Structure 1
Amino acid sequence: MSLIAGDQTPETPHGHGHGHYASASSKDKEQSVQKHSVHTLVFRSLKRTHDMFLSDQGNLPPVNDKAEKIMKAVKAKDQYGPVMGIVERQKLEIAQGGDPLMITGAPQVSDPAAGDSQALALISNTKSLATIGGIGINDATKAPTSIVSQAKKIATMPKPKWHPPWKLHRVLSGHLGWVRCVTVEPGNEWFATGSADRVIKIWDLASGKLKLSLTGHVSTVRGLVVSARHPYLFSCGEDRTVKCWDLEQNKVIRSYHGHLSAVYGISLHPTIDVIVTVGRDSVGRVWDMRTKANIITLSGHTNTVASVLTQAAEPQVITGSHDSTIRLWDLSTGKSMATLTNHKKSIRALAMHPDLYMFASASTDNIKQWKCPKGEFIQNLTGHNAIVNALAVNQDGVLVSGADNGSLHFWDWRTGYNFQRIQTQVQPGSMDSEAGIFSMTYDLSGTRLITTEADKTIKIYREDDEATEESHPIDWKPDILKRRRF
């Protein structure tokens, strides 16, 4: 016999048809027990807190009425000084038989019908000026312009310095893969580039001619740095190795082994004979240049460490990671002095200002400026809506950022004003998707910018000598929201 759908009441063997309801009621009992236990715990906690403070109540010092009165008087004078001055003056004028609404130095109102409203408006305006300046009414009526200009000065941003625009000067080709890194030697005569074709090439800076090719890496070269005190070039790559090249013999004289994965960044300490490398194994490694020993391992990041900076002052090592944090390291102890967590996405680039005690960091959300040694946040530079791979800053205060979509943004360091945007052009035969900038650096004079790109070229930019402040004016609109905190 068929049963109608919806009216089926299946029978369970051995008379256990109400098992479901039994289990539901047991669950309800468990939940009520849990709720009761939670309420009990909360009550006990509150009682403990109450008892603890109650026991301390008798130990509090007695209230000194005289001290309280002095404190209130000081606070009133500090916060309500201008208002109290107005009240006292009005009381004095009333006592002398004058009109409290008419203020000394205020113009007389000719129309009696509109007199009250105009006088009240005048008083309210003068009061607000007096409150802004923190001075008396008579002073405010005498010099309102200085107060207004002072308030204006507080509200607006400083005007940015004029910088000449930059233009493409030269394109160099020779690599057979993405050009991933660049460095300029301390004499400012040549620069070196590393590529995905595993070759390091050395170029003449003045003429742009290829001088030398160095082979030795077995995978992409990701970082290069030249020593100012030794004839050495240091390189690192995705083959997990760090190499020291003798530029007098043009060959590898030391290899530093210890990284467990690809090495993405390298920096040379300016005063101590150590190099710092970072990579996909989430650590920074400090190497003794001569003995090849891994003397310190900077561990603390939880994801790939993509960039590293070193300087002689504290913090001597700064690292930026894909875990969205920047860490400032104490090199003597090998521990993190501070962790900056303001960024929301991966940090791929860091840049140290050559003169100021500051650095910048770049992420997809925005570029941030920081003050050493504690990593105090200064300001955001917003508007570069792409993955920023590279940063560079020169002595003139021009910060440049390059992204994986080929966009170059030039910023005034002090004010964060974005005064120029350039879109890089791929070389003929390349796809538009190859318009990516991987690294960049200024030469030592700060007048030439070298970028390495995904279309296998190196581009050199220079300032436009013919540009003037009249031909390229600053299109600047003051905006108080520029310095928002995060």
Structure 2
Amino acid sequence: MATEIATGSNAAKGRDLSPLEALIRTNAQNTKLIYAPTSASTPGRKRLKLDPELDVSDPALDKTGLSLRLHAEYSDVQTLPEAIASKLPAAGPRKKKPKAAADDAPTPPEEKARKLIEGIPASRTAGSSSANSNALVVSRNKPSSASTPGGKQSNQQRNEPQNMSLTRRSDVLAQPKPDWHPPWKLMRVISGHLGWVRALAVEPDNKWFASGAGDRTIKIWDLATGGLKLTLTGHISTVRGLAVSPRHPYMFSCGEDKMVKCWDLETNKVIRHYHGHLSGVYTLALHPTLDVLVTGGRDGVARVWDMRTRSNVHVLSGHTGTVSDLVCQEADPQVITSSLDSTVRMWDLAAGKTMGVLTHHKKGVRALATHPSEFTFASASTGSIKQWKCPEGAFMQNFDGHNAIINTLSVNDQNVMFSGGDNGSMSFWDWKSGHRFQALDTTAQPGSLDAESGVMSSVFDLSGTRLIVGEADKTIKIWKPDETATPESHPLEWKPTLARRKF
């Protein structure tokens, strides 16, 4: 019996199996046509080699198999839907990439993968540095150490001076010499208010100015003679902000009674109220070209109002403390606010959002001032005045020397900046260099307390030759340059110092 089985198996081995092999090939080709029509029907593509003795590492088979899987998985998402594609911008022509350097050529496995999947760039770029290099700056003009035989630098390369020099840069620390300015002297003292003078504004024709004080009144004064022309009543608390419109016969006022009023200067009456602040309103400013009013106060927000419709256009929120001062200008940032949270914020007026936050001050920022002709501004906190460049808010320089709580800043077009302190100290600065060319203390009115010798507000008139200062002794003082002073009689006392660029 065993002999018969062995004989039968030998007969089967000798039998011809060619029909079975042909059937397997036919089934495999049909399967490929059903499940991979894209690859099989594409002209120029090689068909799968179905020889059982085929080497698995054949690159043609690897490429075909990978192409089959890519088409099977991603054929449905190769193109975007029409609704999405219509919203995207049309793709421009591709820029030709620079050829990679010889030492950055991809390795054989990377090159093989890149050829298998078209459209995937090599992982290394021509600008990448060597993995073994410790250099912080790669020079594009000099050959790297890897290009020399043996990977060692030549003596010439080792002895060349590095570009990262530790020597002092004269162009950065060079301090400009300040311009000579005549000293300022007291010209007139105006009395009439019964409280601290907290707000000042000069009208566009430079004929009169307005003052607001703690006695809840607004007084109109003749600028040439200092005589009282008019007294306006309506606020029920201290008046903290004033602004006169250059394009309309309007004057705006705000106070600690949460009120923002619009006065008609033809009838001397209030014609509009702007309701919205939750606490005292400490500052306001008019946009130079738009019919827009911006106010800020103790509720920590700045509100943008439509001057005519009284609608609240924006609520500029972001400060965590009282908004102490704000300024408006034509170009971005069109609104700049300072706060007792030690920050200065620059705002995008169209979007109503913050463009930038300046956090250099260590204490609450109480005053701002923009230059009338330059695109710069200054901010003041206790013992610190800083100058900034618009529109990005880049730090320019410090004004060092006024060690007091600074309540007010003012700048004229002759590059003279004034700063007034809470203790009655006054400083005059050269705007270009930050040099303080005059420092003095105000003289309190006879009969007032020593604690009332504080400078609360200030403004230059439109000519820049008169400085109006409101003080805590209930007076208004007008200062002017000394006309008899010359560079010989009052020489410039200035010594250049280092480290002027610190924050």
Q: TM-score, normalised by structure 2?
A: 0.69
TM superposition shift of 1:422: 1.6
In structure 2, give the amino acid aligned to 1:208. G
Residues 102-138 of structure 1, C-alpha deviation per residue, up to 9 Å, x if partnerless?
Answer: xxxxxxxxxxxxxxxxxxxxxxxxx9xxx99x9xxxx
Candidates 210, 230, 248, aligned match of 1:230: 248
Maintained 8 Å contact 1:284/1:298: yes
Maintained 8 Å contact 2:255/2:282: yes
Q: Distance in 2 between the 1:371 and 1:153 partners?
A: 18
Secondary structure at 2:378 match in 1: strand
Candidates 200, 205, 208, aligned match of 2:218: 200
TM superposition shift of 1:208: 0.5
Secondary structure at 1:236 match in 2: strand
Candidates 67, 74, 77, aligned match of 2:141: 74
Across the aligned residues of Structure 1 and Structure 2, the Cα RMSD in angstroms comes to 2.8
Maintained 8 Å contact 2:370/2:378: yes
Candidates 363, 369, 380, aligned match of 1:345: 363
Maintained 8 Å contact 1:427/1:455: yes
Maintained 8 Å contact 1:442/1:448: yes
Q: Distance in 2 between the 1:66 and 1:312 partners?
A: 45
Q: Distance in 1 between the 2:126 and 2:258 partners?
A: 70
Q: Distance in 2 between the 1:65 and 1:298 partners?
A: 45
Normalized per residue, the structure richer in helix is 1
TM superposition shift of 1:483: 2.4
Q: Distance in 2 between the 1:202 and 1:62 partners?
A: 74
Residues 24-53 of structure 1, C-alpha deviation per residue, up to 9 Å, x if partnerless?
Answer: xxxxxxxxxxxxxxxxxxxxxxxxxxxxxx
Structure 1 stretches of at least 4 aligned residues deviating more than 6 Å after TM superposition: 62-69, 85-88, 150-154
TM superposition shift of 1:482: 2.3
TM superposition shift of 1:72: 6.1
- Compared CA separation, residues 169 and 154, structure 1 to 2 (3 A): same
Tell me what 1:464 maps to: 482
Maintained 8 Å contact 1:357/1:372: yes
Candidates 310, 315, 320, aligned match of 1:297: 315
Candidates 323, 328, 335, aligned match of 1:310: 328
In structure 1, give the amino acid aligned to 2:278. L
Secondary structure at 2:500 match in 1: helix
- Compared CA separation, residues 75 and 479, structure 1 to 2 (3 A): farther
- Compared CA separation, residues 151 and 331, structure 1 to 2 (3 A): closer
In structure 2, give the amino acid aligned to 1:447. T
Maintained 8 Å contact 1:344/1:365: no
TM superposition shift of 1:157: 1.2
- Compared CA separation, residues 337 and 84, structure 1 to 2 (3 A): same
Q: Distance in 1 between the 2:128 and 2:202 partners?
A: 70
In structure 2, give the amino acid aligned to 1:272. L
Candidates 389, 392, 397, aligned match of 2:407: 389
TM superposition shift of 1:433: 1.2
Maintained 8 Å contact 1:266/1:278: yes
Tell me what 2:196 maps to: 178
**1:263 matches 2:281:** yes
Secondary structure at 1:157 match in 2: coil
* Unmatched runs of 5 consecutive residues or more in structure 1: 1-57, 78-82, 89-126, 135-149
- Compared CA separation, residues 156 and 281, structure 1 to 2 (3 A): same
Tell me what 1:219 maps to: 237
Tell me what 2:458 maps to: 440
Secondary structure at 2:437 match in 1: strand
Tell me what 2:443 maps to: 425
Maintained 8 Å contact 1:448/1:462: yes
In structure 1, give the amino acid aligned to 2:445. Q
Q: Distance in 1 between the 2:123 and 2:339 partners?
A: 51
In structure 2, give the amino acid aligned to 1:349. A
Q: Which has the larger radius of gyration?
A: 2
Write the mapping of 1:22-171 to structure 2, written as runs, cut at 5 A: 61=123, 74-75=141-142, 155-171=173-189
Maintained 8 Å contact 1:156/1:479: no
TM superposition shift of 1:63: 9.5
Q: Distance in 2 between the 1:188 and 1:384 partners?
A: 30
Q: Distance in 1 between the 2:240 and 2:425 partners?
A: 21
TM superposition shift of 1:365: 3.7
Secondary structure at 1:433 match in 2: helix
Maintained 8 Å contact 1:223/1:235: yes
Maintained 8 Å contact 2:173/2:501: no
In structure 1, give the amino acid aligned to 2:365. I
TM superposition shift of 1:270: 0.9
Maintained 8 Å contact 1:180/1:452: yes
Percent pairwise identity: 60
Tell me what 2:53 maps to: none
TM superposition shift of 1:390: 0.2
TM superposition shift of 1:233: 0.6
Maintained 8 Å contact 1:343/1:365: no
- Farther off after superposition, 448-457 or 329-338: 329-338
Q: TM-score, normalised by structure 1?
A: 0.71
- Compared CA separation, residues 365 and 75, structure 1 to 2 (3 A): farther
TM superposition shift of 1:432: 1.5
TM superposition shift of 1:74: 3.0
